[in-house]
Structure 1
Amino acid sequence: MSRTSHITRTTGETGVDVQVGLDGSERTVEVATGVGFFDHMLHQLGKHGGFDLRINVKGDLHIDSHHTMEDTAIALGQAFAEALGDRRGVVRFADASVPLDEVLARSVVDLSGRPYMVHDEPVELAPMIGTDYPTSMTRHILESFAYHARICLHVSVLRAANPGQKPDAHHVVEAQFKSLARALKYATRIEGEDIPSTKGVL
Structure 2
Amino acid sequence: MRRAKVERNTLETKVKVEINLDGKGESRIGTGMGFLDHMLNLVAFHGSLDLKIECDGDLNVDAHHSTEDVGIALGQAFNSALGDKRGIKRYSSLYIPMDEALCRAALDISNRPYLVFDADFKSERLGDMSTQDFKEFFRAFVNEARVTLHLNVLYGENDHHKIEAMFKAFARALKEAVQVQSDTISSSKGVL
TM range (shorter): over 0.9
Amino acid at match of 1:148: E
Whether the aligned pair in 2 keeps the contact of 1:128 and 1:134 (CA below 8 Å) is yes
Q: Note if 1:191 corresponds to 2:181.
A: yes
1:21-55 Cα offsets, whole Å, 9 max, x none, are: 00115x42110000000000101110000000000
Which residue is 1:138 aligned to? 134
1:4 maps to 3
TM-score if structure 1 supplies the norm length?
Answer: 0.93
- Deviation per CA, 1:94-135, whole angstroms, max 9, x where unpaired? 01211000000011000001101111012x4200002x2111
Which residue, out of 145, 149, 172, partners 1:182?
Answer: 172
Q: How many residues align?
A: 192
Give the alignment partner of residue 96 of structure 1, picking from 88, 94, 97: 94
> Root-mean-square deviation (CA), in Å?
0.9
Contact 1:91 1:190 (C-alpha < 8 Å) held by counterparts? yes
| SS state at 1:90 partner | coil
Is 1:24 aligned to residue 11 of structure 2? no
CA distance in 1, matches of 2:123, 2:26: 32
Query: Which segments of structure 1 move beyond 6 Å, counting only runs of 4 or more?
Result: none
Deviation at 1:159, TM superposition (A): 1.4
For 1:13, the aligned partner's letter is E
Cα distance between partner residues in 1 of 2:145 and 2:122 = 27
Which residue is equivalent to 1:163?
Answer: none
Q: How does 1:65-76 map to 2 (within 5 A)?
A: 65-76=63-74
CA distance in 2, matches of 1:156, 1:64: 26
SS at match of 1:63: coil
The unaligned stretches of length 5 or more in structure 2 are: none
Equivalent residue letter for 1:155: L
Residues 45 and 180, structure 1, Cα contact 8 Å, conserved in 2: yes
Identity %: 44
TM-score (norm 2): 0.98
Describe how 1:46-85 pairs up with structure 2 within 5 A. Answer: 46-85=44-83
List runs of 5+ in structure 1 lacking aligned partners: 161-166
Mapping of residues 153-164 of structure 1, within 5 Å: 153-160=149-156
Indicate if the aligned counterparts of 1:125 and 1:135 stay in contact, CA closer than 8 A. Answer: no
Amino acid at match of 2:8: R
Residue number in structure 1 paired with 2:147: 151
